[in-house]
Chain A
Amino acid sequence: MHSLEVRLKGHLPDARGQGLVKDIQDLGIATVSDVRVVDIYWLDAELSPETLDMLGRNLLADPVTQIYSYRQGTPAGPVDESGYHTVEVAYNAGVTDPVEDSVLKAIRDLKVEGVNTVRTSKRYLIEGQLTDEQLEIICSRLLVNPIIQHVVEREQMSFPENPKYHFRLETVDILTSDRAVLQKQFGFTADEFQAIVDYYRKQGRNPTDVELETLAQTWSEHCVHKTFRGRFTLGGRVVDNLLKSTVMKATRELNRPWCLSVFVDNAGVIDFDGQWALCFKVETHNHPSAVEPYGGAATGIGGVIRDPLGTGLGAKPIANTDVFCFGPPDLPYDRLPQGVLHPRRMFKGVRSGVADYANRLGIPTLNGAVLFDERYVANPLVYCGTLGLLPVEIARLGKQKPGDKVVLIGGRTGRDGVHGVTFASEQLTEVSTATSSSSVQIGNPIVEKKMIDVLLQARDRGLYVRITDCGGGGLSSAVGEMAEETGVRVDLEKVPLKYAGLSYAEIWISESQERMILAVPPEQTGELLALFVGEDVEASVIGEFTDDRRLRLFYGGETVCDLEMEFLHGGIPQLRREAVWEPPHHPEPDFAEPSDLGESLLRILGSWNVCSKEWVVRQYDHEVQGSSVLKPLVGKHNDGPGDAAIIQPVPGSPKGVIIANGINPGYADVDPYWMAASVIDEALRQIIAVGGNLNRVALLDNFCWGDVNRPDMLGALIRTAQACYDMSVVYGTPFISGKDSLNNEFEHEGKTISIPHTLLVSAIGVMDDVSRAISMDFKKAGDFIYIAGSTRCELGGSEYLKTRGLVGNSVPKVEPQQSKNLMERLSTATGKGLVRACHDCSEGGIGVAVAEMAFAGGLGASISLKEVPLGEPIDRDDFILFSESNSRFIVEVSPDNKDRFEKEMAGCPLAMIGRVSSETRLEVHGRKGASVVSISIDELKEAWQKPLRW
């Protein structure tokens, strides 16, 4: 056992440490002047001082900027750490150290033998006066997450041997023992458990543990979406299978020929250009991210990337979209529930987890949103989505034959996600401050990247006939679902393990990341395995598809599971529930109209929801793959908020894909129906704003909800799904896939806190010629500013009312037929080159939209509210300026194109409300002509950029 320490040379600034100094200051501790970080590599080997020295010199330390030292003494002299507070942090046992594989590889390349294990830790050297209590706060709030890490209290780290697993078949007595306990333990409803008891009574035996685990996973909400398939009554109306009667019904009725594969595969697939298809999926990884933001979010994006990869016969991931919801970053610590990480830490951890994973995989993150509400404090939402590209002829679900091999590829299997097991190798140190009862994985993006690289070659050689992702639910879900139509036998001892000691049941249900399952015809198995070996990616034949429609699992030749597919996939009783819906009533706003609306505008621009997210966007690689045509940040200084992103996925083809999203949980506080309608309208507006059209737009739904066992929650869910249907059919934009995450609730001080009803609608649109794209920044002084769409007094759930602590009741509604007509006309005008800039009018209304266009373009603007077309009488300037009515756009048109533009828009609510000016101020005049806003664009931009300039 050796440890080798690497640190920056004394005179060099430590960027990681400086970041921590800032974080510590944010905690209200002002006395820390410097933090330096020491990287420590623990090597489980017996090495000579010469070898250690060589490893330090040639591998682990950078000779220009760093020095190294090791136990036997140091060539750089002893390192003085006196005068610092020191904290050393290491990963818990069972948490895979993401660096280990690469370091071992490099050590082998250096021809050093005998190093079996590498673990890393970090020592933080903190300079400044601190009390023990302050040091503890720094540790618990910034440096250590006990779920995956602990403070190393002794210098010695140990690498205990994992015990061997000794096979013993476990059965669970469900026929005679206490049902209530077992039902709860495995998470079944009473009806479901009864169905299982009935099944085994007929079989004349008890289930094995792995059979019961398989049923629990296959019948879980996560895998089977039983709420969305349930039978509900709402107001005397029966809804039989919510999904099929709303979201999927719209798709079926629209019956678009370009929808190639919907709701059947890991992602929805549409035709792109006759040769290529696009597949798109967004998922959530909420709970893991709440517990361990970095690892939870990283495995979230890692998981959704495998969805396109596991769609059809495999798509290349070409873009990501990420939407996060957190508590407010400035939440006082005394409002933070016990055991919950602070929103700022969650935000930083989630952001870096997603960025580190997606950046390493080389997938551009081009689109997203970040929202804040105190109800997300304990239940943050982490939506990650991936767009994939694949040849149309392999866009549909594959099909295996009996006799085809089950091949597991990618990462090894450990206890990741296996709950309630204790680690044999728990003791990482003799004095461990934390023990973990389940293992949270950090994710290893390079394992996934290697797998993708080789998999796409195997795809192009036609070496497999079906593929699926192995994610939540592990092998149990992946193999169990794939084999539904045929049957399968799997030899569990053939699954490669990260470490010894896993039982057959743990192997089967483990949720280890970076794994996929292929169905490979026997004659192609050899070529496939050789291809994978050639790029150092593991691929193992673990079983064979059969024709008996049974799921049979073996361990060392012993049968451990024998279930009929018909029962596994068809035996779950339909959920039945009563739902209610009562519209809430909030106090009506009754504050006086401010005479100067500039202050209000600055407050909205500086609100957490509206403010610039550049801090997030810049840390994503949004340029990799070289495909971006319209980037997330646009304008004169590349820092304005673009509406939707556009990529050109096939080099040499002018066709583009537009990626957009709509989300606004604030409106659901008034009415979830109009929330859903609004977010669909918003996603479509963004597509139109950048120059797209509605001809080929596909949608994804993603519901995040509270406890749907409560009738009112369920009622809200049903209303939301109904709106999805109503809007989808009118706009002609089908849903192609979706996902839900239910029961996002938290108990705090005797009260149940549910997240707001949150629907994310993600949209992709096909654009024929990307050279027709436009951006939202004002381009030229003297141009006319138009508003398209009518403004109503719709401030319920608006940002304006939020800045005053109000909700209101007049939620923005949607008239989809009129909205569609306006969008189509505007799209035609843009296609003809008549529009110089266009911006979606959403949160913060006209005020925010015009301000953003002005400072993004480095130009001023002067507008008059008198000219704004109203859909109903509004007698206040503030309500006109900040109303969030849907289906509106702010449009810049050159004077030369005025007549042609107005002609194209004939019949739509449209008015010229002002002009772009070279004077860099935003001037807004009220209905009576008085100036209500007069602010320089620099001041507006500063208000907008300041909050998240982290």
Chain B
Amino acid sequence: MVKTIVLRAPGTNCDAETVFAFEQAGSEVDLVHVNRIISHERKLADYQILVIPGGFTYGDDIAAGKVLANELRLKLGEDIRRFFEAGGLILGICNGFQVLVKAGFLPDPRSDGHLQVTLAANDSGKFECRWVNLAVNKESPCVFTNGMESMYVPVAHGEGKFVAAPEILPDINVVVRYTDEQGDAGAGYPHNPNGSVGNIAGICDSSGRIFALMPHPERHIRGTQHPQWTRLGAKQYGDGFPIFRNAVRWVQQS
């Protein structure tokens, strides 16, 4: 049985739907408070998939995800690196993306901790909840998006603008980009809801086993979550579901 750990901290708020998504995908899932890992009551090593879900951890004070990133880097950095080196999968959604980047696990978990990418305030200056089209980069090594071409999922964030130093941008493993309905990645706001450089919505490390994105695939698991299902009819599964199924299958097959 594949075992997934969904990590929770003060202000995590997408944990229940993330647990549901992994359960639907066939994993056993434990929702665990970060304190219980730090106190060694629970061990990351007992799991194959680690998820940092969405939310406003520690209120997103200072900057989104910063305080949890600081905590993970200082208190669980080694555990998480060992988990990764042992072949585990790591998924960060929304706040989880912000945390993974600010803790230095993305774009490269083996980097020296000098941060070169970040997620900054949306260009609009606003928190925005809207549905976006994503194009999946088929060249990406990401194991979570294997076989996927596009998806329609919601974003809900105030600090989701992907920013990277220009010199490292070509080396980033882009997994998903914001596009318009036709798949055009140059369509601008609101298709790119936050002003992300290169329309980047999600990235992975070079192994493809650490993946994080700003949009919420766990909010499009059922067909009736699609905002236009009353026009188009409801499919059995939502567009975000394959991400979770891919992760579970990858673990089952490896």
Are A359 and B56 in contact, CB atoms less than 8 angstroms apart? yes
Q: Knowing A535-B33, A536-B10, A624-B13 touch, does A771 contact B224 (C-beta < 8 A)?
A: yes
Are A64 and B115 in contact, CB atoms less than 8 angstroms apart? yes
Partner of B154, one of A18, A355, A623: A623
- A619-638: which residues lie under 8 A (CB-CB) from chain B? 619-626, 628-631, 633-636, 638
Nearest chain B CB to A197's CB is how many angstroms away?
A: 49
Are B227 and A634 in contact, CB atoms less than 8 angstroms apart? yes
- B197-229: which residues lie under 8 A (CB-CB) from chain A? 216, 218-219, 221-222, 224-225, 227-228
Nearest chain A CB to B127's CB is how many angstroms away?
A: 5
Q: Knowing A106-B70, A618-B129, A619-B129 touch, does A648 contact B59 (C-beta < 8 A)?
A: no
Binary contact track B113-129/A, C-beta < 8 Å → 1, others 0: 01111101111111111
- B147-167: which residues lie under 8 A (CB-CB) from chain A? 154, 156, 163-165
Are B231 and A777 in contact, CB atoms less than 8 angstroms apart? yes
Are B56 and A446 in contact, CB atoms less than 8 angstroms apart? yes
Q: Which of B14-22, B80-88, B137-145 contacts its partner?
A: B14-22
Task: Tell me, yes or no, whether A915 is within 8 Å of chain B by CB.
Answer: no
Interchain CA distance A18-B67 in the complex, whole Å: 26
**Set of chain A residues within 8 Å of B156, measured between Cβ atoms:** 359, 621, 623-624
User: Which residue of the partner chain A has the closest CB to B116?
Assistant: A64
Interchain CA distance A362-B156 in the complex, whole Å: 11
Nearest chain A CB to B76's CB is how many angstroms away?
A: 11
Are A618 and B128 in contact, CB atoms less than 8 angstroms apart? yes
**Set of chain A residues within 8 Å of B130, measured between Cβ atoms:** 618, 638
Are A64 and B165 in contact, CB atoms less than 8 angstroms apart? yes
**Set of chain A residues within 8 Å of B164, measured between Cβ atoms:** 64
**Set of chain A residues within 8 Å of B228, measured between Cβ atoms:** 634-636, 638
Partner of B227, one of A361, A617, A638: A638
Partner of B13, one of A109, A361, A629: A361
Are B129 and A620 in contact, CB atoms less than 8 angstroms apart? yes
Interchain CA distance A634-B230 in the complex, whole Å: 9
Task: Tell me, yes or no, whether A309 is within 8 Å of chain B by CB.
Answer: no
Interchain CA distance A620-B157 in the complex, whole Å: 10
Task: Tell me, yes or no, whether B43 is within 8 Å of chain A by CB.
Answer: no
Q: Knowing A59-B66, A623-B216, A634-B227 touch, does A360 contact B11 (C-beta < 8 A)?
A: yes
Q: Knowing A63-B114, A106-B66, A446-B11 touch, does A619 contact B127 (C-beta < 8 A)?
A: yes
**Set of chain A residues within 8 Å of B219, measured between Cβ atoms:** 623-624, 626
Partner of B121, one of A16, A59, A102, A635: A16
Most buried by A among B59, B63, B118: B59
User: Which residue of the partner chain A has the closest CB to B72?
Assistant: A109
Task: Tell me, yes or no, whether B37 is within 8 Å of chain A by CB.
Answer: no
Are A13 and B62 in contact, CB atoms less than 8 angstroms apart? no
User: Which residue of the partner chain B has the closest CB to A20?
Assistant: B125
Task: Tell me, yes or no, whether B75 is within 8 Å of chain A by CB.
Answer: yes
**Set of chain B residues within 8 Å of A15, measured between Cβ atoms:** 121-125
Are A102 and B124 in contact, CB atoms less than 8 angstroms apart? no
**Set of chain A residues within 8 Å of B118, measured between Cβ atoms:** 62-65
Partner of A626, one of B115, B218, B231: B218
Binary contact track A659-684/B, C-beta < 8 Å → 1, others 0: 00000000000000000000000000
A contact residues, total (Cβ < 8 Å): 65
Task: Tell me, yes or no, whether A534 is within 8 Å of chain B by CB.
Answer: yes
Are A18 and B16 in contact, CB atoms less than 8 angstroms apart? no
**Set of chain B residues within 8 Å of A111, measured between Cβ atoms:** 74
Partner of B125, one of A16, A59, A99, A636: A16
Interchain CA distance A355-B234 in the complex, whole Å: 30
Q: Knowing A362-B14, A622-B129 touch, does A773 contact B230 (C-beta < 8 A)?
A: yes
Q: Knowing A109-B71, A626-B17, A638-B131 touch, does A62 contact B63 (C-beta < 8 A)?
A: yes
User: Which residue of the partner chain B has the closest CB to A690?
Assistant: B230
Are A626 and B20 in contact, CB atoms less than 8 angstroms apart? yes
Task: Tell me, yes or no, whether B35 is within 8 Å of chain A by CB.
Answer: yes
Interchain CA distance A633-B17 in the complex, whole Å: 21
User: Which residue of the partner chain B has the closest CB to A15?
Assistant: B125
Q: Knowing A62-B63, A534-B36 touch, does A355 contact B127 (C-beta < 8 A)?
A: yes
**Set of chain B residues within 8 Å of A359, measured between Cβ atoms:** 56, 127, 156
Binary contact track B46-89/A, C-beta < 8 Å → 1, others 0: 00000000111011111100110011001100000000000000
Task: Tell me, yes or no, whether B177 is within 8 Å of chain A by CB.
Answer: no
User: Which residue of the partner chain B has the closest CB to A646?
Assistant: B224
**Set of chain A residues within 8 Å of B54, measured between Cβ atoms:** 624
Q: Knowing A65-B163, A625-B16, A626-B219 touch, does A770 contact B224 (C-beta < 8 A)?
A: yes
Partner of A362, one of B55, B75, B120, B165: B55
**Set of chain B residues within 8 Å of A449, measured between Cβ atoms:** 10-11, 13
Interchain CA distance A109-B121 in the complex, whole Å: 25
Are B59 and A446 in contact, CB atoms less than 8 angstroms apart? yes
Nearest chain A CB to B98's CB is how many angstroms away?
A: 10
Partner of A102, one of B8, B58, B231: B58
Partner of B225, one of A626, A633, A773: A626
Q: Knowing A15-B121, A623-B129, A624-B156 touch, does A103 contact B231 (C-beta < 8 A)?
A: no
Most buried by A among B36, B114, B123, B126: B126
Task: Tell me, yes or no, whether A651 is within 8 Å of chain B by CB.
Answer: yes
**Set of chain B residues within 8 Å of A110, measured between Cβ atoms:** 70, 74
Are A628 and B225 in contact, CB atoms less than 8 angstroms apart? yes
Partner of A106, one of B67, B123, B225: B67
Partner of A446, one of B20, B58, B115, B234: B58
Nearest chain B CB to A276's CB is how many angstroms away?
A: 14
Are A105 and B67 in contact, CB atoms less than 8 angstroms apart? yes
Closest 9 CB pairs of A and B: A362-B13, A15-B125, A626-B17, A102-B61, A64-B118, A775-B230, A102-B58, A360-B56, A621-B156
18 pairs of residues in contact across A and B, judged by CB atoms under 8 Å = A15-B121, A15-B125, A62-B63, A62-B115, A62-B118, A64-B117, A99-B59, A102-B62, A103-B62, A623-B216, A624-B13, A624-B54, A624-B219, A626-B218, A629-B225, A636-B231, A638-B228, A648-B224
* B residues lining the A interface (CB < 8 Å): 8, 10-14, 16-17, 20, 33, 35-36, 54-56, 58-63, 66-67, 70-71, 74-75, 102, 114-118, 120-131, 154, 156, 163-165, 216, 218-219, 221-222, 224-225, 227-228, 230-231, 234
